[in-house]
Amino acid sequence: MKNLKVLIVDDEPGIRSGIERVLHNFTVGYPFMEDDFGFETTEAGTGEEALEIIESQAVDIILLDNKLPGIQGIDLLEQINKMQIDSLVMMITSYASLDLAVKATNNGAYNFVPKPFTPQELKSAIENITKHLFLRRMTMKMKEEGKQIRFQFLSVLSHELKSPLNAVDGYLRIMQDKQLGDNIDDYMSMIDRSLIRLQGMRNLIMDMLDLTQIESGKKHRKLKLVNIKECIQLAIHSMEPMAIQRNVKVNCNCPEILNIQSDADELEIIFNNLVSNAVKYNKEGGSVFIDITKEDANVIFRVEDTGIGISPEDQLNLFREFTRIKNSKTQDITGSGLGLSIVKKMVELNKGTISLESEADRGSVFTVSIPAGTC
């Protein structure tokens, strides 16, 4: 259980001890919270005393009487507000007037409890304020974490952009120094590596553009009936040169008339990534099997390859941004580490799911299921 600190500011000792008694064994819990909240009270007889306490220690909830001997409750409220502390104020007052209520609310009071109040009234007021405080703190935490993730993303991104630059830079310097002599042929493998790294960088930039468009929500979704066969043929067609080069046979089994309510660009990104991965991470002379079926209200896309496969440890992180499986089998394959994270986002945008079965050295099967929509 977590304890919230409640500061009671009232000049009547009877009220202070009364509240203390009510809150002593009181706890607040909600189904969405892991912990129940208990309460720990501190008392102040004047506004001045209260200020001292607020300045010296963290307080979560302040119960504030308006009528105080020195500085008035409403003025104290204004000062507390200026301090911008992470606590909520509830006014307790016997002379509740609309005027005061408006002024207090403007000064940042969370709510009001009129005096005299029953223990039950106090409890329900405290319950409300606790929930509000919890939600406010959660929101703030989530905003901060969002910033954190953004920052990590940028630092990984800049690393991923810099590393191909460094690689190409290094090769060019070796050539500039003619470290392997005057014959250009001796530098061919370095030139090839430079081109591979540049291609990787180009892919990364293209993928980044896709990702920014999804993230910013700026990409205007054009939902219409899309013919799956046409869409998948396009993806296969664009991978053809590489498939021929690597002697990978691409087989496709798709009904002629199967439509899905979606955005054609999004489906294309999904197919392109899955088909190109299946070709890229295949073995020389391997095969790709694309199988598309309709099961109930869903269209199921199954892309199977006979490639290098993915180990169980690597599968865990596969759909995360900038995940690239680094090993001797993947070093000459260019990839940004963003493709599958983009595919996952696109699939989710279409209210679908993606799953993977894979075995190292045997191959992988990616299965995407997307609701067909009104077709």
Partner 1 sequence: MYKEFNHKEMNKKTVLLVDDDIDYLIQMETRIRNFGFKVIKAEGKEDALMVLKDVKPDLAIMDLMMEAQDSGFVLGYKLKQLYPDVPVAIATSATRETGIKFDIDRRSDRDWIKADVFLQKGIRNDQLHREINKLLKI
Collapsing DSSP states into helix, strand and coil, what is residue 115?
A: coil
Closest separation in Å from C-beta 174 to partner 1: 6
Q: Are strands 249-253 and 287-295 parallel, antiparallel or unpaired?
A: parallel
Nearest to 113, CA basis, from 133, 96, 127: 96
User: One symbol per residue from 179 to 218: x for binding partner 1 (CB under 8 A), - otherwise; what is it?
Assistant: xx--------xx--x---x---------------------
Q: Give yes or no for residue 137 binding partner 1 (CB under 8 A).
A: no
DSSP code, position 109: -
Q: Give yes or no for residue 152 binding partner 1 (CB under 8 A).
A: no
Options 60-68, 132-140, 177-185, 250-258: segment touching partner 1 (CB under 8 A): 177-185
Closest separation in Å from C-beta 248 to partner 1: 24
- Count of C-beta atoms within a 10 Å radius of residue 365: 16
Closest separation in Å from C-beta 201 to partner 1: 12
Q: Which is nearer to partner 1, 194 or 273 (CB)?
A: 194
Q: Element (H or E) spanning 236, and its range?
A: helix 228-245
Closest separation in Å from C-beta 277 to partner 1: 21
Site for partner 1 in 224-283 (CB under 8 A): none
φ, ψ (nearest 5 deg) of residue 374: -85, 85
Q: Which two tokens stand for residue 150?
A: 């953004």
Closest separation in Å from C-beta 183 to partner 1: 14
DSSP code, position 360: T
Closest separation in Å from C-beta 5 to partner 1: 38
Closest separation in Å from C-beta 193 to partner 1: 6
Nearest to 370, CA basis, from 294, 278, 274: 294
Q: Which is nearer to partner 1, 34 or 177 (CB)?
A: 177
Q: State how far the Cα of 17 lies from the Cα of 254, in Å rounded to an integer.
A: 76
Q: Give yes or no for residue 4 binding partner 1 (CB under 8 A).
A: no
User: One symbol per residue from 313 to 342: x for binding partner 1 (CB under 8 A), - otherwise; what is it?
Assistant: -------------x-x--x-----------
Dihedral (CA of 160, 164, 169, 171) sign: positive
Location of structure tokens 């896309």: 301
Q: Which is nearer to partner 1, 170 or 371 (CB)?
A: 170
Q: Which is nearer to partner 1, 141 or 178 (CB)?
A: 178
Nearest to 268, CA basis, from 317, 219, 198: 219
Options 2-10, 174-182, 272-280, 315-323: segment touching partner 1 (CB under 8 A): 174-182
Q: Give yes or no for residue 301 binding partner 1 (CB under 8 A).
A: no
Nearest to 195, CA basis, from 21, 332, 350, 336: 332
Q: How many CA atoms, within 13 angstroms, populate the side-chain half-sphere of residue 174?
A: 16
What residue ranges bind partner 1 (CB under 8 A)?
Answer: 159, 162-163, 166-167, 169-171, 174, 177, 179-180, 189-190, 193, 197, 326, 328, 331
